[in-house]
Amino acid sequence: MSQVKKATRHVNQNEGLIFEKSSPGKAAWKLPPLDVPEVDTADLLGEAERAHLGHMPEVSEIEIIRHFTRLSTWNYAIDLGMYPLGSCTMKYNPRINEAVSRFEGLANGHPYQPERISLGALRILKTLTDCLLEITGMQAITLQPAAGAHGELTGILLVRAFLQKQGNPRKKILIPDSAHGTNPATAAMAGYAVENLKSNSAGMVDVASLAAQMNEDVAALMLTNPNTLGVFEQEIHKIADILHGKGGLLYMDGANMNALVGKVRPGDFGVDVMHLNLHKTFSTPHGGGGPGSGPVACKNFLEPFLPVPVIVTKADGTLGFDYNRPQSIGRVRAFYGNFGMHVRALAYIMANGPDGLRQTTEDAVLNANYIRKGLEGVYDLPYKTPTMHEVVFSDRVQAKKGVRTGDLAKRLIDYGFHPYTVSFPLIVPGAMMIEPTESESKEELDLFVDAMKSIAEECDKAPDVVLEAPHSTRVSRLDEVAAARKPVLRWKGPA
Amino acid sequence: MLRAIGARSIDDLFAPIPTEYRLNRELRLPRQMSEPEILEWFQKCSRENGKGLPSFLGAGAYHHYRPVVIDTIISRGEFLTAYTPYQAEISQGTLQSIFEFQTMICELTGMEVANASMYDGSTATAEAAMMAMRVSGRRRVVMARSVHPEYREVLATYGQHQDMPLTAVGFGENGRVKMAELERILGQDCACIVVQSPNFFGTIEDVPALAELARSKGALLVVAIAEAVSLGIVKPPAEADIVAMEAQSFGVPLGFGGPYAGVIATREKYVRQMPGRLVGETRDKHGKRGYVLTLATREQHIRREKATSNICTNQALIALMANVFMTVYGREGLKELAKQNLAKTAYARQHFGRHGKALFDGAPVFNEFVLQTVEDPYVINSRLLEENIVGGFPLKKFYPELGNAALWCCTETTTRASIDAVGAVLARAQTAGKRRPEPEPEVVR
């Protein structure tokens, strides 16, 4: 471990479950005195009255603060260092976003308050809408979907509604073998069969196979561009033509939009409908797994089918919601979506401006290529095609010593980094998918490259060090098989 | 860095993009702004957005006091800027907190297992109905009209290509599901009954009776909960098969409708049909207790088109807010909090009932109630807004059969003074309704 420059072990606090700290009479709450008459709950609720609250905890405020602070120190986070989890775009989450989202009127606005006192929220939604349309080159948009997969479902429902109106919703969705699992799962939820599309030797859609597989049963192709190998689909215009030629639509999974903003617009290269991930490209925090936000942008011919409500500028020039949309696919979520994320994304766009957004894209691609250069020859690079915002290596060389991508990832933890995405995309056996984002400095990237090189050396000289990693964490190699075989999904108090 | 890569300019790296598609101009966006400019822009939006007026709106989004420690904790970068805990060794903080969240949701709902979160209550309800289809092998879903109208719309959207016939069941004089009608509708093809309790009108449903009826027909009972604070004083729907919950009331800001956090809880035997992430307890290689994501074979990244749902990113940070809220109030506080909601609402219902008709007598309500008035509630709300009060939610759009009715909500934050102020306006409206014509105020919608 002497070669580890980025991290040093230090003491961290042990902490049990909150229930194990609980004891009767402790409290962290205080209600104001009741200013209306007390009520007899038994009288009001009768049989519906609850007797007690089981094993809910009773703890003091300092215990709560310490509990969660201690837990937090067991997490890795962007705020601690590079988090190159490919496809997740773990970029810096600017704190201005957090500050503006907490402004009283925005944080406490009720979704059903009259439009007359909702002008601020409406302006934010409208401004963000305009910005995202300009960035994507699309013509209409909904901000309602709560995350990327939710956006995918919305987008495919739009496709289906449009085709249905033409007289035939069609039967299947084509999905490249390099796609995220959410794509096929989405197609199934929208009532479509899934047909796989093989990638060619460059890691791109095989245009000849696409032409052969495309027919009047195909509703759409769900394409991630750049794809999960970080490769831009150079024949995108042919792909779009083949689909459109047979009456199909091109759906773009915008998970990798961080490679395109300000450089090229999906609306200009034949995409009919796409989603964005505000928590990836537009810097809203990932929060340990969410919330995200997955706006769906489309061409005008899909606009009549957007979820209700849509934002409109009324005759008098004020903004409002339009619910009268007879062809709409319906709602995909209550209210208007993850508004708090819309606020943050807009603040990010404003803080960058046109120039900053373009430079962000350039830096993200530059960083990925710098890592590629640094690790080429050390790790196997299965696809030599130019890299955009992320690069996928494989464990082929190290596997000869019995060390797999998952082991290398665990060892990276000891070097002070969050691992890359392990074993994805599925078309690369032993995949190591690295996305540095624009947030990392050359110094951090160099530390990462050094760490990866050092681990490769360990694989040669002392593979057990890697196979038994991580060595520096509170826990190591948790038994996932046992967890799934006999699931313990909650703490149980004494009966 | 370009030199190290062997590129002459940054443009070299974008060579794979066909030239005809490249954007050869700047994006037409607001110019780059400084921090004070951004603060000012949003401050202005904030001022134009409700101004913190006392409000009687509920209807699926509730204004409760948020203990300050919530934001202290969720603002820690280690929680805020981490992602899904795929690497358990460096995610134990998130994992353990989710395990505690799952446990508390089980304690409160009377269910045996709960997931890590769904997008919100509406999508949780839709996914719960689809889960019931998988469990029962049946397709028809019977849903009460007293379920939040937007939850019903979302279920209709989700179910439209799932071969899911959807049947509505009405509500009776007491605001509860009409049992006789339900019994008539329920057949051997029914996967589940979906009800909400407290329902959209604030009325607490007779969950044990609904469960018994469902069971007698081999259907599952799905209970949606939009107002989580009710669980502090209302008996949990322990007889249900699936509970689909909105946790917004647990310390999540109203935020103009989101982000909120849904949850699905159920019986252990159905866990493999449950959508969403789950955290389980296990041991590490040294025998030390720890937590991991588990039962992932239900999920899209493993099962692809055969997954229980396409959900990936959920609402983790919002679930953490709810987690902290539940921890702060705990066993006793949540009960006292719920009691205050009950007391304020009882006071308002009685008070307002003098100037209109409080509907749905005969079954208990939690913190919402329906008031029928002589005048159009939109007109009443315009008057109230002139006095800087936001009135109840007019029901005409969703329930035209109720006439001039609105849904009023009181929480622990509602003051007696504001209730009395509304009472006075309602009293004037009542007399105004009797001696027309009077100049109509501008109607606020």
- Chain A residue with Cα closest to B338: A41
User: In this complex, which of A18, A73, A410 lies closest to B100 when CB atoms are compared?
Assistant: A18
User: In this complex, which of B92, B119, B292 lies closest to A150 when CB atoms are compared?
Assistant: B119
Q: What pLDDT score does B430 carry?
A: 74
The structure tokens listed for A464 are 């057990």
pLDDT in tens, A297-346: 999 999 999 999 999 999 999 999 999 999 999 999 999 999 999 999 99
Q: Hey, is the C-beta of B420 within 8 angstroms of any chain A C-beta?
A: no
pLDDT in tens, A451-462: 999 999 999 999
Taking the CA of residue B56 as centre, how many other CA atoms within 13 Å lie in the half-sphere pointing to its CB? 33
Q: Hey, is the C-beta of A290 within 8 angstroms of any chain B C-beta?
A: yes
Q: Hey, is the C-beta of B375 within 8 angstroms of any chain A C-beta?
A: no
Q: What pLDDT score does B127 carry?
A: 98
Q: What is the mean pLDDT of chain A?
A: 97
Q: Hey, is the C-beta of B19 within 8 angstroms of any chain A C-beta?
A: no
Q: What pLDDT score does B51 carry?
A: 74
**Assigned fold of A361-481:** Aspartate Aminotransferase, domain 1 (3.90.1150)
* CATH number 3.20.20.70 is the correct assignment for the domain at B69-326: no
pLDDT in tens, B81-103: 999 999 999 999 999 999 999 99
Which of A126, A147, A165, A135 is closest to A305 using CA atoms?
A: A165
Chain B: closest CA distance from residue A414 (Å): 10
A69 and B76 in contact by Cβ < 8 A?
yes
Residues B342/A41, Cβ–Cβ less than 8 Å: yes
Measured distance CA(A58)–CA(B180) in Å, rounded: 43
* Domain spans in chain A, listed from the N-terminal domain onward: 1-74, 97-349, 361-481
Q: What pLDDT score does A494 carry?
A: 86
Give the mean model confidence (pLDDT) for residues A52-75. Answer: 98
Instruction: Compute and round to an integer the Cα radius of gyration of chain A.
Output: 25
Residues B404/B363, Cβ–Cβ less than 8 Å: no
Measured distance CA(B258)–CA(A340) in Å, rounded: 6
ipTM of the complex: 0.97
| Dihedral in degrees, nearest 10, Cα atoms B7, B8, B9, B15 | -60
Q: What pLDDT score does A357 carry?
A: 98
Give the mean model confidence (pLDDT) for residues A65-72. Answer: 98
- β-strand partners of A176: A197
DSSP code at position A177: T
User: In this complex, which of B157, B317, B347 lies closest to A291 when CB atoms are compared?
Assistant: B317
* Cα angle, residue B293 at apex, residues B288 and B299 outer, rounded to 5°: 160
The pLDDT > 90 percentage for chain A reads 98
Chain A: closest CA distance from residue B256 (Å): 4
Q: What pLDDT score does B432 carry?
A: 64
- Chain B residue with Cα closest to A80: B78
The residues of chain B scoring below 70 in pLDDT are: 432-445
Helix axes B92-109, B316-352, angle to 10 degrees: 30
pLDDT in tens, B19-55: 999 999 999 999 999 999 999 999 999 999 987 899 9
Give the mean model confidence (pLDDT) for residues A176-199. Answer: 96
- β-strand partners of A85: A434
Which has more pLDDT, A410 or B444?
Answer: A410
Give the mean model confidence (pLDDT) for residues A169-175. Answer: 97
Measured distance CA(B198)–CA(B151) in Å, rounded: 14
The kind and range of the H/E element at A175 are strand A172-176
DSSP code at position A112: T
Judged by CB atoms within 8 Å, which residues 459-478 of A form the interface with B?
470, 473-478
User: Which residues belong to CATH 3.40.640.10 in chain B?
Assistant: 69-326
- Chain B residue with Cα closest to A307: B157
Q: What pLDDT score does B442 carry?
A: 54
User: In this complex, which of A131, A188, A478 lies closest to B292 when CB atoms are compared?
Assistant: A478
**0.80 surpassed by pTM:** yes
**Assigned fold of A97-349:** Aspartate Aminotransferase; domain 2 (3.40.640)
User: Which residues belong to CATH 3.90.1150.10 in chain B?
Assistant: 331-434
For the B331-434 domain, the top CATH level (class) is alpha beta
Q: What is the mean pLDDT of chain B?
A: 95
Residues A22/A59, Cβ–Cβ less than 8 Å: yes
Q: What pLDDT score does B438 carry?
A: 47
**Among A75, A92, A371, the residue to mutate for chain B (most B Cβ within 10 A):** A75
Which of B60, B16, B356 is closest to B227 using CA atoms?
A: B60
Buried b (16+ CB within 10 A) or exposed e, B303-339: bbbebbbbbbbbbbbbbbbbbbbbbbbbbbbbbbbbb
Reported residue count of chain A is 495
DSSP code at position A196: E
Judged by CB atoms within 8 Å, which residues 164-203 of B form the interface with A?
none
Chain A: closest CA distance from residue B414 (Å): 10
